[in-house]
């Protein structure tokens, strides 16, 4: 039985996130009516793709979409976990009318 702990791969997760964002808000402009379903779709699709990888992790996916209008936005994360197995990855994306910041946190499950 292989008891080696699997570590989180931020690069893999980052690619999954980028594909999801492009697929959902790729060429569109910020729309107050639709932003609600965009953020929900991004987190759901990203989560589904990550779970499909079948790795022994619990996941948290967070997405913030902000209209480009000159306002300042700052975000920070702090985590209290096992640094050898757990990890996170944050993707910043933008187009002409909006910014999108997606964070994925993966916490190892003890098998």
Binding site for another protein (CB under 8 A): 30, 32, 35-36, 38-40, 42-44, 46-47, 50-51, 58-82, 86, 88, 103, 105, 107, 110
**What is the nearest approach in angstroms of another protein to the Cβ of residue 2?**
22
Closest to 65 in 3D by CA, of 104, 92, 105, 27: 92
What phi and psi values does residue 61 have, to the nearest 5 degrees?
Answer: -120, 130
**What is the nearest approach in angstroms of another protein to the Cβ of residue 104?**
10
**Which helix H or strand E contains 96, and what residues bound it?**
none
> Residue 15 or residue 31: which is nearer to another protein going by CB?
31
> Residue 15 or residue 62: which is nearer to another protein going by CB?
62
State how far the Cα of 43 lies from the Cα of 58, in Å rounded to an integer.
14
> Residue 5 or residue 68: which is nearer to another protein going by CB?
68
> Residue 22 or residue 53: which is nearer to another protein going by CB?
53
**What is the nearest approach in angstroms of another protein to the Cβ of residue 11?**
20
State how far the Cα of 77 lies from the Cα of 61, in Å rounded to an integer.
13
Counting beta carbons within 10 angstroms of the beta carbon of residue 69, is it exposed (0 to 12), middle (13 to 18) or buried (19 or more)? exposed
């Amino acid at each position: 039985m292989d008891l080696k702990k699997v570590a989180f791969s931020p690069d893999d997760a980052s690619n999954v996130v980028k594909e999801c964002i492009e697929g959902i808000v790729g060429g569109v402009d910020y729309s107050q009516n639709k932003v609600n379903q965009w953020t929900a779709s991004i987190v759901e699709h990203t989560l589904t793709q990550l779970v499909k990888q079948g790795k022994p992790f619990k996941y948290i996916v967070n997405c913030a979409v902000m209209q480009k209008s000159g306002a300042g936005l700052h975000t920070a994360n702090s985590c209290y976990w096992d640094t050898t197995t757990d990890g996170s990855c944050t993707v910043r994306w933008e187009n002409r009318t909006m910014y999108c910041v997606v964070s994925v946190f993966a916490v190892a499950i003890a098998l």
